[in-house]
């Protein structure tokens, strides 16, 4: 079973006798397919060795905020962006206090402060510490900030006392972790997503294409499927694997094939997201044989490819349409104009640059619709995909509500 395949989980371990259970937790999370990076506080290393967790996670364990070697390999901001979920188990009373206060005085709390990803904690402490008003106030504050609490359990404790404060068992933590990656927010909705580049042949050995990796579109497909949608992913040539298995993947090569494939699947589609970098032009004629090198100059006649996004948007009963705009300058202005020109509901603009855009794991987006705009800070494409799906879900729900009440349509 690979339920957590492709999920990046940063496992934080703090100083508690329950830290020995984190070894089993790491093993189980790995078994479910998750990629685990372990960050330990100094006191956690007194209970269980980093070497154990390194062996189980398959990655070096990070412990020190000021370790230049570790920072050079994967720095604390990079770890914060990498994580789809930060799971702190065990979470000590002191760690909860640091998290509440927004401290960044050690690696784990600094990562939590810098991250936009969900955080879950499995508390472990003496029952008196748990009951204490200070801890309870911290818990209230953290819950208001949407920190997920897993436990604690109730029973006899290592110190000999009995009460609430035991870390729940690894199996119970896993059972509470799985739902954090899924929701039914888009269940019953059919979504078509285009992703990756297209290839337009010049002759049997050459083609016109672009640097698109397909990572953004695949991340959107995963986020949509995890939200319960019925997802069809129409993708150009890419090395990527679509996950989860429920995604219906259709591989194409050219813009015309992508157009045809989208049109063939469009009936009952609720949302269309065009993240593919479709070639705008293709060679007018594809040479049957390899073109020989002859003259100093040669001319290639190009003809326009069908605009898939604009075509979908112009259908009667069009789905909610979302396009992408990769720009190198004046991002917002160009994107707004493009949204109107193509007649689409929403456009997602990104600046193509050295740290975001094509072939990168990170991106920075501006999401623009008729009445508003939201900026999504530089983050992993997977996190941005989840945020984008959430924004689209809110828009779809608003449309469904207004249509049902007959107030207004989009
Ligand atoms: O017009 P431009 O290529 O800049 O627009 C980008 C947006 O339009 C992207 O969402 C892209 O997937 C979509 N597009 C399309 N078909 C084309 C060209 C672009 O769907 N032929």
pLDDT in tens, 114-150: 999 999 999 999 999 999 999 999 999 999 999 999 9
CATH for the 190-405 domain, from 2.50.20.10, 3.40.50.12500, 3.30.1360.70, 3.40.50.10300: 3.40.50.10300
Q: Determine the distance separating the centroid of ligand 1 and the alpha carbon of 350, expressed in angstroms.
A: 13
The mean predicted confidence, pLDDT, of the chain is 94
Decide: 272 in ligand 1 pocket, CB within 6 A.
no
Segments of the chain assigned to CATH 3.40.50.10300: 190-405
Question: Per-residue confidence at 354, pLDDT binned at 50, 70, 90?
Answer: low
Question: Distance between CA atoms of 22 and 397, rounded to whole angstroms?
Answer: 40
For 227, the token pair is: 């939200």
Predicted pLDDT of residue 74 = 86
C-alpha 36: how far from chain center = 16
Whether residue 406 has pLDDT greater than 60: no
Pocket test for ligand 1, best of 275, 307, 366 (most atoms within 8 A of CB): 307
- Higher model confidence: residue 406 or residue 226? 226
Residue from 278, 304, 319 whose mutation best tests the ligand 1 pocket (most atoms within 8 A of CB): 278
Structure tokens belonging to residue 353 = 């640059």
Q: Does residue 269 have an active-site annotation? A: no
3-class secondary-structure state, position 176 = helix
Instruction: Please identify which residue in the block is written with the tokens 């065990």.
Output: 90
**Residue 94 pLDDT exceeds 80:** yes
Atom of ligand 1 nearest to the CA of 324: 10
* 200 within ligand 1 shell (Cβ under 6 A): no
- β-strand 271-274 against 190-195: which pairing, if any? parallel
Query: Does residue 307 line the site of ligand 1, with CB under 6 A?
Result: yes
Whether 112 has a pLDDT exceeding 60, the answer reads: yes
Q: Is 222 in the pocket of ligand 1 (CB under 6 A)?
A: no
Spell out the residues 6+ positions from residue 400 whose beta carbon is closer than 8 angstroms to its own: none
CA distances from 369 to 127, 317, 333 (A): 51, 19, 13
Give the chain's radius of gyration (CA, Å).
Answer: 25
Q: How far apart are CA 310 and CA 256, in angstroms?
A: 14
Q: How far apart are CA 359 and CA 367, in angstroms?
A: 20
> Which atom of ligand 1 lies nearest, measured to the CA of 325?
6
Above 90 in pLDDT, residue 285? yes
Per-residue pLDDT for 362 more than 90? no
- Residues 8-181: name the CATH superfamily: Flavin prenyltransferase-like (3.40.50.1950)
Residue 377 CA, ligand 1 centroid: distance in Å: 23
Does position 358 have pLDDT exceeding 70, yes or no? no
Sign of the dihedral defined by the CA atoms of residues 378, 379, 384, 390, in that order: negative
* C-alpha of residue 203 to centroid of ligand 1, in Å: 24
Average pLDDT over residues 33-44: 97
Query: What pTM was computed for the model?
Result: 0.85
Q: What is the pLDDT of residues 147-195, one digit of tens each?
A: 999 999 999 998 899 999 999 999 999 999 999 998 899 999 999 999 9
Torsions phi, psi of 289, nearest 5? -115, 165
User: Regarding predicted confidence, which is higher, 67 or 367?
Assistant: 367
* Ligand 1 proximity of 254 Cβ (cutoff 6 Å): no
Question: Does the beta carbon of 122 lie inside 6 Å of ligand 1?
Answer: no
C-beta of 88 in contact with ligand 1 (< 6 A) = no
Q: Is the CB of 280 under 6 A from ligand 1?
A: yes
- What DSSP character marks residue 246? T
Numbered ranges of CATH 3.40.50.1950 in the chain: 8-181
- For residues 90 and 61, give the distance between their C-alpha atoms in angstroms, rounded to a whole number: 16
pLDDT, tens only, 209-247:
999 999 999 999 999 999 999 999 999 999 999 999 999
pLDDT tens string 64-78: 998 888 888 889 999
DSSP H stretches of helix in 227-330: 255-264, 308-313
Indicate which residue of 112, 159, 235, 269 is catalytic.
159
Which among 279, 323, 330 is the best mutation to test ligand 1's pocket, defined by most ligand atoms within 8 Å of the CB? 323
Q: How far is ligand 1, taken at its centre, from the CA of residue 306, in Å?
A: 9
Q: State mean pLDDT over 377-393.
A: 93
Nearest-CA residue for ligand 1 atom 9 is 324
The pLDDT of residue 43: 97
* pLDDT beyond 60 at 410: no
Give the residue with greater pLDDT, 286 vs 1.
286
């Amino acid at each position: 079973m690979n339920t957590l395949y492709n999920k990046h989980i940063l496992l934080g371990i703090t100083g508690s006798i329950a830290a020995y259970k984190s070894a089993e937790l790491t093993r189980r999370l790995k078994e479910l397919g998750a990629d685990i990076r372990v960050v330990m506080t100094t006191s956690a290393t007194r209970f269980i060795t980093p070497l154990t967790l390194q062996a189980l996670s398959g990655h070096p364990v990070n412990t020190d905020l000021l370790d230049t070697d570790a920072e050079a390999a994967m720095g604390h901001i990079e770890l914060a962006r990498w994580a789809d979920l930060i799971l702190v188990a065990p979470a000590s009373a002191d760690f909860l206090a640091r998290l509440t206060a927004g401290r960044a005085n050690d690696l784990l709390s600094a990562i939590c402060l810098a991250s936009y990803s969900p955080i879950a904690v499995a508390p472990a402490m003496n029952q008196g510490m748990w009951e204490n008003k200070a801890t309870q106030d911290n818990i209230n504050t953290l819950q208001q900030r949407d920190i997920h609490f897993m436990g604690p359990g109730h029973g006899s404790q290592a110190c000999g006392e009995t009460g609430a404060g035991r870390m729940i068992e690894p199996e119970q933590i896993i059972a509470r972790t799985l739902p954090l990656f899924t929701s039914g927010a888009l269940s019953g909705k059919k979504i078509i997503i285009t992703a990756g580049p297209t290839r337009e042949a010049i002759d049997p050995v050459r083609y016109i294409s672009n640097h698109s990796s397909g990572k953004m579109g695949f991340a959107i497909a995963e986020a949509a499927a995890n939200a319960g949608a019925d997802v069809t992913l129409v993708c150009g040539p890419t090395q990527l694997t679509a996950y989860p298995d429920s995604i219906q993947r259709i591989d194409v090569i050219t813009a015309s094939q992508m157009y045809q494939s989208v049109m063939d699947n469009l009936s009952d589609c609720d949302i269309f997201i065009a993240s593919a970098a479709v070639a705008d032009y293709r060679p007018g004629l594809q040479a049957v044989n390899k073109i020989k090198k002859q003259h100093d100059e040669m001319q290639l006649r190009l003809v326009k490819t069908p605009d898939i996004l604009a075509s979908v948007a112009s259908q009667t009963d069009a789905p909610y349409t979302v396009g992408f705009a990769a720009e190198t300058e004046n991002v917002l202005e160009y994107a707004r104009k493009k949204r109107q020109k193509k007649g689409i509901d929403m456009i997602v603009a990104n600046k193509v640059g050295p740290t975001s855009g094509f072939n990168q794991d990170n991106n920075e987006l501006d999401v623009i619709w008729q009445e508003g705009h939201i900026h999504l800070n530089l983050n992993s494409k997977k996190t941005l995909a989840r945020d984008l799906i959430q924004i689209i879900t809110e828009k779809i729900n608003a449309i469904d509500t207004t249509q049902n009440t007959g107030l207004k349509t989009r």
